[in-house]
Amino acid sequence: MSIAIVKYNAGNVRSVIHALNRLGVEPEWTDDPERLRRAARVIFPGVGEAGSAMSYLRARGLDEVLSDLSQPVLGICLGLQLLCERTEEASTRCLGIFPHEVVRFPSEGKVPHIGWNQISSLEGPLFRGVAEDDYVYFVHAYYAEAGPDQIALTEYLRPFASALHRDNFFAVQFHPEKSGAVGERILKNFLAL
């Protein structure tokens, strides 16, 4: 099975590649539109700033490519946020796959949200074999507000959507590649879709 990881100016790619290697998968890291279209699965990871990431995607036409993909796509962290309608970060219009707004955590708490936290209200095939209130690893200052496409919920200063699903698009705010056995199960589930 061919797995493509979207290449753009956002970090965290190496840990995703290593996590897939542990599952016996050798992904391709690419920004080539045809290779992304041909891949059986596409992973859209990211750690970075939304405005510059979207500028990079638009300059290379990858915004249109990503929006038109029909195979299973998994957004991770910034990837989830960029799949939403818009983000407060640099007042950025994003890809609009999910009709969710991305907002910054309030300043009265410790921001960014870093560390292990629970996921609950789990729905769908991405969480097959994952227990309610299992722990996963987060690093983020912005979050998608709860809404119609949420398939997991997390509480940090307020409830937020820690996973989303619409059609062939899945996204998680946490880092499955850094979330031990639970994250490995989620990645396996994605590959098995």
Please identify every residue annotated as catalytic.
Answer: 77, 175, 177
Pairing of strands 84-87, 113-119: unpaired
> How many whole angstroms separate alpha carbon 112 and alpha carbon 66?
27
User: Side chain identity at 88, as an amino acid letter?
Assistant: E
Helix, strand or coil, per DSSP, at residue 122: coil
Q: Distance between CA 21 and CA 23 in Å, rounded?
A: 5
Long-range (24+ apart) CB contacts under 8 A made by 95-99 are: 95/63, 95/66, 95/67, 96/67, 97/67, 97/166, 97/169, 98/144, 98/147, 98/149, 98/164, 98/166, 98/169, 98/171, 99/147, 99/148, 99/149
Residues in the chain: 193
Strand, coil or helix: what is 51?
A: helix
Structure-token match 């990871």, residue found:
45
